[in-house]
Each structure stands twice: as C-alpha cells, then as structure tokens.
Amino acid sequence: MTLRAGFIGLGNQGKPLAANLVTAGFETTLYDIVDAPVRELAARGAKAASSPREVGAASDVIGICVPEDDHVRAVMLGDDGVLAGAPSGTIVAIHSSILPETAIALAGEATSRGISVLDACVTGGAARAQQQQMTYLVGGDAATLAKAQPIFETSAVKIIHAGPLGCGAKLKLCINLLTYIQWAAAYESYQLSKAVGLPDGVFEEAGASNGQITPLMQTYLGTHKIPEDARHSEPVQELMRGHMNIAEKDLAWALQLARKAGVSLPVGGLVSQLMARLYGVDDDGRR
C-alpha cells in the first residue's frame, strides 16, 4: 500500500520537507496557519487542508514541524487537532525540537487511540532540506520507524534510530547545544578577524580549508555580511528575531535537560545569553 503523507507547519524548514514529499510523488495533505506556502505546494500537486484534523483524517504518516512544544500540543490535541481526525494505525512524526517529556506525554494521548508517535527531529537546516540532505534523529518503536521510513527518505541523507521514545528529542538538544556553541566561536573569531584588519574572506577560507568552519557555519557567518542599513531594517530584524527566539528556546531546553541529568553546562549557559548578538538583533535587554 502506498503511504499517504501529511504535513503541518510549512515554515523555513517544514516547507522544503513537505515539498520533497510532493516531488517524490506521495499523496500529500498540508496545513499551515499561513496560506501562502500551502497554496504554493498545492499548485504543485499537494492537497490543502483546512485544519490539522483534516490532515489527520487524510494521512497515514503525518509530519509536524512547528516552533514550540505548546504549538505541537495544540496541533495534536486541539478540538480540530490531528488526534481528533486520525484513525487507528496513523503515525505522527514530530520534527520540532521539543522536550523529551512532551513527546512522551503526547504519545500517551495518541496510543490510547491506536496512533503511534515518533520524536523524529531533523537537523541540517533549510538549505540541506532542499537538497534532501537532512539527518533524522528518531526516538520510538523500531517497527514504527520502519513503516515511516519511506516518508523520511524523501529528505534524508541519514536516519538515526536514537533509541526509545524521547531519545530523538534528547539527541537533537545535544546537537543544538553543539551548533550554537560553534556559532558563538565562529562569531567571535570573525569579529576579531575584522577588528585586526584581515582581508575580507581569508578567515572563512582558512577555517573552511582546515575543516573548522562547516558549510552551515559559513551560511551563518553570511548573515553578518548583510549591509548595515539592511541588517537593521524591520524585515531582516523580524527574520533574525524569529531565529533568535527558536535558538533561545532550544538552549533553554538543553539546559533544563542538563539540570535534570545533573550535568553542568557553563559554556552552554553563557552562550544562551548571547543569541541577540549572534543573530544581530537590536535588543538591548538581551545584550
């Protein structure tokens, strides 16, 4: 039987993931609170839904890629949520970076209705999603993962079964911690290279040559080369503020996970206070 795909949350990362499903030929039903990306993908053959409930009723495997834990809860548990429409046997894959306990609690609600949940976090960023080069970090039952795998493979370069439910979220928080610490190091090193008068581009060339500056870090550093006037414009500030909010949430969850595990993360704690600076957001309260 050919799987029917559903996808909820067509933002910076969710839209290319959903687009890959359409390109691969899956019958795909989509929902987002913003109409434009839904219309765009519907023009390419996807079906537009009026609610998460409608996505649930029309899909065998549903991806959810929304910003925060509360958004995932609303999408799944609301009166018009996925669980209100999905039949027994449906698989819900949560791609959002959430707390492990959120995934476990939502799975408890879903299991009582015969619905399976995977915390199928993704890492790689929007550009790699477009290139079908994402890494999936999946927690949950191995048999459920095997059923959902054809859906994940439309965007994946690698699918890692991290362990039982909640382990995908744990692994993603560890990876996020590493990412933001790397970006802080890249930012400070880049600022120093400018301050001491090094020619434009030689810092990135040297760092890329010895493997210390990854392609993702190069993309990040590119945001600091936007002309000053443009960088302080409201459209750019709004975009960067959105990235900053997600980063602060991700690091807060990593620090909470560490506290519960009895692990000290002094560098992570410091970096969590630097997100406005790292994203160039004009917010004196965060500097």
What are the catalytic residues? Answer: 172
Question: What is d(CA 209, CA 98) in angstroms, rounded to the nearest whole number?
Answer: 35
Residue type, 179: T
Question: What is d(CA 197, CA 217) in angstroms, rounded to the nearest whole number?
Answer: 21
User: 47 and 29 in contact (C-beta within 8 Å)?
Assistant: yes
Which residues, 6+ apart, have CB-to-CB distance to 180 below 8 Å? 247, 250, 251, 268, 271, 272, 275, 278
Beta strand 134-139 with 156-163: parallel, antiparallel or unpaired?
Answer: parallel
**Could you give the angle at the alpha carbon of 51 between the alpha carbons of 50 and 56, nearest 5°?**
120
Beta strand 116-123 with 91-94: parallel, antiparallel or unpaired?
Answer: parallel
Longest dimension (CA), the chain: 63
User: 99 and 121 in contact (C-beta within 8 Å)?
Assistant: no
